[in-house]
Structure 1
């Protein structure tokens, strides 16, 4: 079977974390060259880049604080320049970087609210704007995928800022799909459910137990589950898919709540 992303160059934000790492490795495995963004997880991102290189792929690590609009635009410029140096062009962006603090809404300050919204939402706006301009100038086509969450429609206690930011990301993608579609640029979201990570069962045993009782497919998600959805949306298989939210949750949101 041919590689779905052969010839593409993708920028993955937050590539040092679990889901971002999975996306970067899947993209590389499907033939894409990958620019790996990180802010603090530099060593982890370099390890991913090394794995991609050892497998015969191409990768570069780029550092940026995406809470700053100018840093978002600079990151995209650096990724595009790297793509050109490798003989290609930037064709895909995956907006994965984000934070998920736990905090009660009563007593939350505007500064604490903005810390989540700026990281999760404003960075998506700025990176998408910058990447879409690069793709448009190159004549397209291109794809942008935001990592949202099932909490965009099913909020959890003490996650009001996070849930609000993810709901806004879903609507941003739909609006961007309308405006960038004429240039051949598709914009979609992937909304994961609970994705496993090292130590999750020890850190939140009651939550993991509740999830496993509720999810029809009987397990937590894996980074690869989210990555496969992103590969599909960036590939020619999704050439007529835009403005769509692809839920990847093992079916948990299909379960009645009453």
Structure 2
């Protein structure tokens, strides 16, 4: 594996590792020396492909399936991830999430709950399960939030609210888990590129590129780099923090 070994000896669980951002996070954690459990619900082939690539490069990876809208499944997932790598878990990345578009006036309570249960309640349950780190010398928990935690977008009342809550959850968890040696932070990405995005949303991609101080969209590996930092000893005094990874887009004035 390439990398500097910043996470040598660590064991990490990445939820939602079948999607583009999750794959990028898992690859970067593995490149820096962590053994990685890749969680997925339906994107099994994608997660397996990433795990195979990690193993072929000399790393350690397993794929675990779970429905994170089930609280008990969240606890079983965290326990199994630790069990698969000798009973230890040192890093959890709560990445799994959904981002549907739905106007607020026509949104049903069921549609609201579908987003909140996946984006927020699952984060709560997995983080609660990660309390096992207190008996293992500590660790880190990183929630993947969004710039929409602070900057709203039409059609995303449920999504933005869930991500804002995730940021506050991490800050509160940081206070409670800190005495155990467990740090809790968030990463808030801007627009991350994926296959077909420019064809599906050309105007939005154009606006994001123009807003970015560095003139490009984000890559999954950019989010992965932030997660590596927060899980590494380099961030040993960083907790309760929201790390924005958006190419400087939200630094632009809106007037």
Aligned equivalents of 2:108, 2:61: Cα separation in 1: 39
Aligned equivalents of 2:38, 2:4: Cα separation in 1: 24
Aligned equivalents of 1:109, 1:29: Cα separation in 2: 42
Tell me what 1:57 maps to: 59
Aligned equivalents of 2:209, 2:140: Cα separation in 1: 33
Tell me what 1:135 maps to: 133
Structure 1 runs of 4+ with >6 Å offset: none
Tell me what 2:41 maps to: 39
Is 1:165 matched up with 2:162? yes
Quote the offset at 1:216 in angstroms: 1.1
Is 1:12 matched up with 2:14? yes
Match of 2:213 among 216, 220, 236: 216
1:29-70 deviation per Cα after TM superposition (whole angstroms, max 9, x unaligned): 000000000000000000011001101111100000000101
User: How does 1:112-191 map onto structure 2 within 5 Å?
Assistant: 112-132=111-131, 134-138=132-136, 140-191=137-188
Secondary structure of 2:104's match?
A: coil
1:173-222 deviation per Cα after TM superposition (whole angstroms, max 9, x unaligned): 00000000000000000000000000000000110011111111100000
Secondary structure of 1:3's match?
A: coil
Quote the offset at 1:5 in angstroms: 0.1
Aligned equivalents of 1:212, 1:52: Cα separation in 2: 31
TM-score (norm 2): 0.98
Secondary structure of 1:221's match?
A: coil
Tell me what 1:204 maps to: 201
Quote the offset at 1:2 in angstroms: 4.2
Is 1:244 matched up with 2:241? yes
Tell me what 1:25 maps to: 27
Unaligned residue ranges in structure 1 (runs of 5+): none
TM-score (norm 1): 0.97
Q: Number of matched residues?
A: 253
Quote the offset at 1:137 in angstroms: 2.3
Tell me what 2:103 maps to: 104
Aligned equivalents of 2:4, 2:51: Cα separation in 1: 23
Tell me what 1:255 maps to: 252
Secondary structure of 2:105's match?
A: coil
Aligned equivalents of 2:135, 2:162: Cα separation in 1: 29
